[in-house]
Structure 1
């Protein structure tokens, strides 16, 4: 019998590959809850056999109760960049509660690292969108694995961001050289290929006997930015280097046009609990720079033997050129783009 999976956040960068992976055969029907059935992503997903678009507010209980009727499982990816930390914690927990109420078989949550906890709650690691999902993941992990199975997929940055907010830009002193910039020093940063992310979520629904009660930390690899630049040069013949930036220099690049704006663009701007982009992304980069996280790559290889395993393999597979490609809806829709993105 074909099962129906409700996807929250299905038109976002993470959600689209999840929907495609679930709808890749006749095993699942996919119901995508989105605020606009006319968005580019919703229109493209609607063309896929087995995918139905359910228009409505993902953060409205009446809408959620309608969307949950007749579904067997749910994938939840809330958007903290939009709704802020408090709302993301509330809706992550509430969605779990509603899923239990409606008798769902399997709840899969899109988590992130609980950065503050990993850093012993030092302010330098405070990141609202990491911490919110990390707190919800801890709540879910404390729940029983019956009668509803639960799984958490803890992710990291998208490798596709190397074509967007992390893409290289010309050296002002030597336009023939491209600079990959990050405030990482010599540290490595995990990134995930989104197509593989979708495949991991599909595996969770396919194999509840193994995924039930599992918090799976996924990534392509822990990536050295020197390796990013070297791989790019090897594959394209274009000279590229890695430049380590201080956090202040990084924010001055213009990746975030107004770093002192509050993070949570649809939340009450007067909410005193909202952090700024500068504060949250300081915690984000410090988490990776100080090596607070780890992943079991042997387990990831076992689960998905065909996964992309290196940034170089990803560059080769996708024909990466360093040119700008929009991935993140919040960046595209709100014109949050790097100043240097207009440089050819």
Structure 2
């Protein structure tokens, strides 16, 4: 009989390619939990054979108990930018506990780097990545039987080059596009979203290999000067890299409302919440100091067909540097800010 996989976070930028990869043939049924079954993202997924939409709040115990009935495995991608660090840690662990209670065969968790831990818990590295890393540590301490577990530690999406990381015209020379980041000469790992879905499919397909594994996935570690040069080569558009300080980076307006707390659906008075300035400061510090490495030879072995470079991705997607919305949470916050500014 076909196995049914529940997806937490299935309508987001990361979740959609996961759903598509699992539903790409007749091996799995896919159940996607979402707050709004009538949203465009949910409706698009519902047209895929083998995909069913379960309307409800993924951060509600009773809703989860209904969604967990009759499933064999679960993929979990919680949204800390919405619910905040404390809630993300709680729900990551609680979802694991429910999976054990319901006798699931396989629990696959979407993680991020535990930046503070990699940086010896120095405050300069503390950021929104940490919550998932803490949950990944908890999962990694659990037995690999009777329920298999796998952790896939992602990094920044390559598709963010059309949004948060996209180039903008140089004010002094509008014919030149500027890739700006507070990275110095460091290499920054990027991940093609479509391949991420395939890694999740691999984890469910090969539990003998993926059980007990924390796989750090990515496409390429990219030097931003090389990124600008590759962009010029592929598009014919002049581009340069400008290294900014963190203060200069935030003054550009790339991160909306830097003094706002991370966790837009959490209590804004919660003293444990970081501001976007604090959180993204830790984020960029982690990558500038190159605290994390990926084993690309292992990734080639697991997924030989993967996109292997930013050049290959640009060619595949026809990347031109134009703006395109990728992160639903970022898009929703931007809309909310515009509405707020008009009232």
TM-score higher than 0.5? yes
Question: What is the CA RMSD across the aligned residues, in angstroms?
Answer: 1.2
Q: Distance in 2 between matches of 1:28 and 1:225?
A: 39
User: Do 2:256 and 2:334's aligned partners in 1 also have CA atoms closer than 8 Å?
Assistant: no
Q: Which runs of 5+ in 2 are unaligned?
A: 339-343
Identify the residue that residue 246 of structure 1 maps to in structure 2.
245
Shift of 1:338: 12
Identify the residue that residue 182 of structure 1 maps to in structure 2.
181
Identify the residue that residue 62 of structure 1 maps to in structure 2.
62
Q: Does 1:14 align with 2:14?
A: yes
Q: Does 1:222 align with 2:218?
A: no
Question: C-alpha deviations, 1:213-233, integer Å up to 9, x for none?
Answer: 000000001111111111110
Identify the residue that residue 115 of structure 2 maps to in structure 1.
115
When residues 336 and 188 of structure 1 are mapped into structure 2, their CA distance, relative to the original with a 3 A threshold, is: farther
User: Do 1:254 and 1:337's aligned partners in 2 also have CA atoms closer than 8 Å?
Assistant: no
Identify the residue that residue 139 of structure 2 maps to in structure 1.
140
User: Do 1:116 and 1:126's aligned partners in 2 also have CA atoms closer than 8 Å?
Assistant: yes
Q: Distance in 2 between matches of 1:263 and 1:273?
A: 10
Shift of 1:239: 0.4
Identify the residue that residue 341 of structure 2 maps to in structure 1.
none
Q: Distance in 2 between matches of 1:23 and 1:116?
A: 36
Q: Distance in 2 between matches of 1:212 and 1:338?
A: 42
Q: Does 1:287 align with 2:256?
A: no
TM-score by length of 2: 0.97
Question: C-alpha deviations, 1:305-326, integer Å up to 9, x for none?
Answer: 0100111110011000000110
Q: Distance in 2 between matches of 1:79 and 1:38?
A: 20
- When structure 1 is superposed on structure 2, of 146-155 and 226-235 the one drifting more is 226-235
Q: Does 1:257 align with 2:253?
A: no
User: Do 1:151 and 1:213's aligned partners in 2 also have CA atoms closer than 8 Å?
Assistant: yes
SS of residue in 2 equivalent to 1:335: helix
User: Do 1:256 and 1:338's aligned partners in 2 also have CA atoms closer than 8 Å?
Assistant: no
Identify the residue that residue 326 of structure 1 maps to in structure 2.
325
Q: Distance in 2 between matches of 1:221 and 1:63?
A: 38
SS of residue in 1 equivalent to 2:254: coil
Identify the residue that residue 301 of structure 1 maps to in structure 2.
300
Q: Distance in 1 between matches of 2:157 and 2:218?
A: 9
Q: Distance in 2 between matches of 1:272 and 1:205?
A: 39
Q: Distance in 2 between matches of 1:247 and 1:16?
A: 32
Q: How many residues align?
A: 338
Q: Which runs of 5+ in 1 are unaligned?
A: 340-344
Q: Distance in 2 between matches of 1:309 and 1:337?
A: 36
Shift of 1:331: 1.3
Q: Distance in 1 between matches of 2:313 and 2:95?
A: 34
Q: Distance in 1 between matches of 2:268 and 2:30?
A: 35
Write out aligned runs for 1:55-204 (5 A). Answer: 55-127=55-127, 129-204=128-203
Deviation >4 Å, runs of 4+:
336-339
Question: C-alpha deviations, 1:245-295, integer Å up to 9, x for none?
Answer: 110111011112210110000001111100000001001000000010011
SS of residue in 2 equivalent to 1:69: coil
User: Do 1:74 and 1:106's aligned partners in 2 also have CA atoms closer than 8 Å?
Assistant: yes
Q: Distance in 2 between matches of 1:123 and 1:337?
A: 30
TM-score by length of 1: 0.97
Q: Distance in 1 between matches of 2:172 and 2:258?
A: 26
When residues 218 and 330 of structure 1 are mapped into structure 2, their CA distance, relative to the original with a 3 A threshold, is: same
Identify the residue that residue 48 of structure 1 maps to in structure 2.
48
